[in-house]
Structure 1
Amino acid sequence: MKEVKLKIVGKQINEDGEENVIELVTEGKFYKKNDSIYLVYDESEISGMDGSTTTLKIQDDKVMMKRFGSNNSKLIFEKGKKHKTGYQTPYGILDLEVITNKLNVDIVDGGKGSLSLSYRLNISNTMETKNELDIDIN
């Protein structure tokens, strides 16, 4: 396991075209297990998920994001595929549908590189957002 610095930029655009951008620089852990790369980091107050730990399991064409703690969720990003999941909130479970448009992984064995995702998130068939997630690893 290697300590890494992560620069995470998340962008969300709602149906009205309003854009929300969150940028976080944090320490994280990088390791490889079997044919997967793992990134683990703690969320902060900036992301609205203070008290949660995020684990990204990265494969060539698939990324699984699991959050544990104050927010529990599991999202799967796979280009051109639709994945459904539940998202636990203090008010109950929301149904989420993730449709990934772009998935680029450029990470070398030493733990440096980048991950870039573009996806649509449909929340309980009532709201859809366009989202981008870019992570630089140093």
Structure 2
Amino acid sequence: MRKDILVTVKAKQINEYGEEDSQDFFTTGTLFQKKGAFFIVYNESEVTGMAGTTTSLKVEPNRVTLNRMGSSEQKQVFEEGLKHRGNYITPYGGLSVAVLPSRVEVNLTDTGGSIKLEYELEVENQKISDNALIITVREAGNEKCSGKTER
């Protein structure tokens, strides 16, 4: 089972001063299942600041693993209540990143669904923000979307 999908990513970030930033991103991708996990794969674009990067999400019932490869590289694991550290490598250098999720909710089938993540983000051992991420996928018809963002 390999399906063309439409991917919507809604991100919200609240920094230490209570300032909120949100961004919506739409693109096409692929959904498939392997060894009991779902995989969502899509290409980043200029609007996310990661053109030339492919993002894959390995989605299990209680864990989501993000893996980015290309111009930017990152592997990050999201498990409710567990802090996971990783490295974020950009063309400008690398950073130590950690996430501590308070919510990892997976509602995904072979026809689509959603992933909801709420987590604290640390960069170089300092809390940067509280984040909420909602990723929805649905089967694609004839639509094509190369990536769009709204603030």
Would you say same fold, with TM above 0.5? Answer: yes
> 1:1-138, aligned counterparts within 5 Å?
1-109=2-110, 111-138=111-138
RMSD: 1.2
| Structure 2 runs not aligned, ≥5 long | 139-151
Give the Cα separation in 1 of the matches to 2:104 and 2:98. 16
Equivalent pair of 1:105/1:116 in contact (CA under 8 Å): yes
Residue 80 of structure 1 aligns with an amino acid whose one-letter code is G
Give the Cα separation in 2 of the matches to 1:83 and 1:127. 14
Give the Cα separation in 2 of the matches to 1:16 and 1:65. 27
Structure 1 consecutive aligned stretches of length 4 or more whose deviation exceeds 3 Å: none
Q: Give the TM-score, by structure 2 length.
A: 0.86
In the alignment of these two chains, the number of paired residues is: 137
| Structure 1 runs not aligned, ≥5 long | none
Give the Cα separation in 2 of the matches to 1:48 and 1:86. 17
Give the Cα separation in 2 of the matches to 1:37 and 1:69. 21
More relative contact order, 1 or 2 (CA 8 Å, 6+ apart): 2
Please list the CA deviations of residues 69-105 of structure 1 after superposition, one character each: whole Å capped at 9, or x if unmatched. Answer: 1110001000010101111133432111110110111
Q: Give the TM-score, by structure 1 length.
A: 0.93
